[in-house]
Amino acid sequence: MGRTSKDKRDVYYRLAKENGWRARSAFKLLQLDEEFQLFQDVTRAVDLCAAPGSWSQVLSQKIGSQGSGHVVAVDLQAMAPLPGVLQIQGDITQLSTAKEIIQHFEGCPADLVVCDGAPDVTGLHDVDEYMQAQLLLAALNIATHVLKPGGCFVAKIFRGRDVTLIYSQLRVFFSSVLCAKPRSSRNSSIEAFAVCQGYDPPHGFLPDLTKPLLDHSYDFNQLDGPTRIIVPFVTCGDLSSYDSDRSYPLDLEDGSEYKYTPPTQPPISPPYQEACTLKKKGWLAKEIRPQDCPISTVDTLPQ
């Protein structure tokens, strides 16, 4: 695939590069904010699963403009630095990472926790949905330690068969839970975002890192029958904006002339780097003897 055909096929990918965002995901957070005013009065925020960093870029721009903004970004992968963003490299499902994040907010809680985390998708839907739910619960667990009362939590969810259980868990902690689908998120994807506002844990609730999965301690009887929790579904992003499932000609309808723009910040050390190098050398499908494949000297990714 030529480098321009991706621009044609995915207008948000193209616009992200042209607007200096590290990833097209930036538009999802911007469209969620348009609908829910997520950044209003926010001065401290956590961006979980943040690499390559477009949500952190949005956060630092939006919060930075409101005074002494402060953003902590966390990811398994290394991320190029961003002004005003403190980075932690680690796995959010690990106790050590959770402790490091929480430590940072001791005495001055966060107003907003966002999580755009996605596991490496296997294509086995039940497994993918389960992994996604675990990531969301790990993020929620961290949020219960760092959020101030009334704070907001936004997390990617997969709208699979058991998503109602997740909504019920979220409703235990937030006065309002909605499911939102930004225009820049493809209709063909089961991805959506849980937007949870008004952090209000149950009376007497004490966040506990040793019980990361919150599904055992509370009564989820609401799940049964007609009283099961059904959250409102909201589509967001201006309906006149680009449709993420369509291809657009390279010269856009607004009259702007096409000029190829390279990615704003290529990933530092992506997990697929080794596979790309092997493919480039024609070694991907072949059996490789260790002496033929000097992994320590892998080339950098082709742009």
Nearer to ligand SAM, 48 or 147 (CB): 48
Establish how many alpha carbons lie within 13 A of residue 112's alpha carbon, considering only the half-sphere containing its beta carbon.
28
- Say if residue 91 carries a ligand binding annotation: yes
Nearer to ligand SAM, 135 or 172 (CB): 135
- Is residue 54 close enough to count as binding ligand SAM by CB under 6 A? yes
User: Which one of 36, 44, 53, 179 is in contact with ligand SAM (CB under 6 A)?
Assistant: 53
Give the other-Cβ count within 10 Å of 34's Cβ. 15
Smallest gap from residue 263 Cβ to ligand SAM (A): 12
- Say if residue 55 carries a ligand binding annotation: yes
Burial string for 229-265 (b: 16+ CB within 10 Å, else e) reads bebeebebbeeebbebeeebebeeeeeeeeeeeeebb
- Is residue 73 close enough to count as binding ligand SAM by CB under 6 A? no
Nearer to ligand SAM, 54 or 169 (CB): 54
- Is residue 266 close enough to count as binding ligand SAM by CB under 6 A? no
280 is catalytic: no
- Is residue 111 close enough to count as binding ligand SAM by CB under 6 A? no
- Is residue 33 close enough to count as binding ligand SAM by CB under 6 A? no
- Is residue 76 close enough to count as binding ligand SAM by CB under 6 A? yes
- Is residue 23 close enough to count as binding ligand SAM by CB under 6 A? yes
Q: Give the whole-angstrom CA distance, residue 113 versus residue 120.
A: 22
- Is residue 50 close enough to count as binding ligand SAM by CB under 6 A? yes
Nearer to ligand SAM, 76 or 223 (CB): 76
Stretch that binds ligand SAM, among 12-20, 90-98, 274-282, 288-296 (CB under 6 A): 90-98
Q: Are 215 and 168 in contact (CB under 8 A)?
A: no
Nearer to ligand SAM, 76 or 250 (CB): 76
- Is residue 118 close enough to count as binding ligand SAM by CB under 6 A? yes
Stretch that binds ligand SAM, among 2-10, 19-27, 159-167, 272-280 (CB under 6 A): 19-27
Dihedral sign for Cα 61, 23, 151, 177, please.
positive
Q: Which of residues 181-240 bind ligand SAM (CB under 6 A)?
A: none
Cis peptide before 262 (omega within 30 of 0): no
- Is residue 49 close enough to count as binding ligand SAM by CB under 6 A? yes
Of the listed 28, 156, 211, 281, which one is catalytic? 156
Could you report how far apart the first and last alpha carbons of the chain are, in Å?
13
Q: Give the whole-angstrom CA distance, residue 116 versus residue 60.
A: 16
Strand partners, 174: 199
Q: Give the whole-angstrom CA distance, residue 277 versus residue 293.
A: 10
User: Which one of 43, 61, 77, 222 is in contact with ligand SAM (CB under 6 A)?
Assistant: 77
- Give whole-number Cα distances, 224 to 58, 73, 178, 218, in Å: 39, 38, 20, 14
Burial string for 91-128 (b: 16+ CB within 10 Å, else e) reads ebbeeebbeebbebbeeeebbbbbbbbebeeeeeeeeb
Would you tell me which residues interact with ligand SAM (CB under 6 A)? Answer: 22-23, 25-26, 49-55, 75-77, 91-93, 116-119, 135
Residue positions in the annotated binding site for S-adenosyl-L-methionine? 53, 55, 75, 91, 116
